[in-house]
């Protein structure tokens, strides 16, 4: 992070599912909620993101990452949610 002090950091692990790359689960006021992940936010804002421990991701997650980074102008994450 010294080279990119403003970068978002996303800690990856072997339990990630492809949708975990774009949203995170949290509790807000005691209610479960999904929020945009650091990768989602960085992609929307054109910011730098560091995928820490990317080597632990499953093949399905890596395929999803490839689809996000495949020089497409737009990627449909969910119905009506475009990146």
Site of tokens 């479960």:
32
| Residue 59 contacts residue 18 (beta carbons within 8 Å) | no
Lowest mean pLDDT among 22-26, 42-46, 61-65, 78-82: 78-82
Is the Cα dihedral 14, 17, 20, 25 positive or negative?
A: negative
Taking only the tens place, the pLDDT of each residue in 5-56 is 888 889 999 999 988 998 898 999 999 998 889 888 888 888 998 999 999 9
Site of tokens 């990317």:
54
What pTM does this model have?
0.75
Assign 80 a pLDDT band (cuts: 50, 70, 90): low
Q: Which two tokens stand for residue 6?
A: 């403003």
pLDDT at res. 30:
92
């Amino acid at each position: 992070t010294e080279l990119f002090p403003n970068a978002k950091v996303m800690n990856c692990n072997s339990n990630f599912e492809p949708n975990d790359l774009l949203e995170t689960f949290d509790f807000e006021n005691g209610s479960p909620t999904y929020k945009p992940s650091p990768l989602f936010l960085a992609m929307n804002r054109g910011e730098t993101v560091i995928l820490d421990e990317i080597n632990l991701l499953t093949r399905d997650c890596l395929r999803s990452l490839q689809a996000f980074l495949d020089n497409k102008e737009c990627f449909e994450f969910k119905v009506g949610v475009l990146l």
